Homo-oligomer: A and B are copies of this chain.
């Protein structure tokens, strides 16, 4: 049974996990660790964690916990996986909330999920805000969100894993199990491509019109909902996307390449019946989605 939990990285997602655990009735202890004291203090003051521990004390803190939740960017999750594997045992569960799963699942197969080692359940709550930080954490962040898991087919589910999944369900999240490679491919399509696209469009507009006050005023006056929506994700900070681009490069590049070709197809057919076919396909996609 899960009595003591350590959250590593108590920003938006990690902090929200702590708050969601409490809101769902978890009565055990929630410890927190992470690189910045300020974030940990905010998380504790908001009730997301009960106590905080410097990262230098994290090994012994983790050793005394039943479950360890690795939050933060993917590369830091990989670092923590390396660091904690030797100090944990097979009665413990490690899970994570990283946005890409292939590298994490591969490292889990190597360092966890083996005799004498802790269990590792790769997870990915598809929730967030345009900005991060413990101050924005909330218990309801995962309500109606999709929380994906990419367990190894070889790893036998443990009782702690089942309990963690039950807590996630109590957070109000829907869940789905996926192969890690399929996860990263699908997330490239539904999340990473939209982000890169919105960033590229906003950057292009900034470079084309940002340098001249009259042009800026014209774009501001004329641009409506369409432009606003298509560039909204352009406000996302690089810090939230660097590790995703680094850990899912090939799938993202493939979706970008496919879209480049598709835009060229539209461009070459602005005056042909092929444009009608393009609208028909797009209409069909939206009809499925809306209806």
Contact = CB atoms under 8 A, between A and B. Distances in A.
Interface of A: 126, 145-146, 148, 174, 176, 178, 182, 186-187, 189-191, 193-210, 216, 218-224, 226-238, 241-242, 245-246, 249, 252-253, 256-260, 262-267, 270-271, 275-276, 278-290
Contact of A278 (B187, B199, B209): B199
Contacts of A286: 202, 231-232, 234-235
A241 B277 CA distance: 13
Contacts of A283: 202, 234-235, 237-238
A228 B194 CA distance: 10
B189 A205 contact: yes
Contact of A220 (B196, B256, B281, B289): B289
A194 B182 CA distance: 29
A263 B260 contact: yes
A200 B263 contact: yes
A235 B283 CA distance: 5
Nearest to A253: B267
B280 A223 contact: no
B206 A259 contact: no
A281 B207 contact: yes
B267 A222 contact: no
A262 B234 CA distance: 14
A228 to B, nearest CB: 7
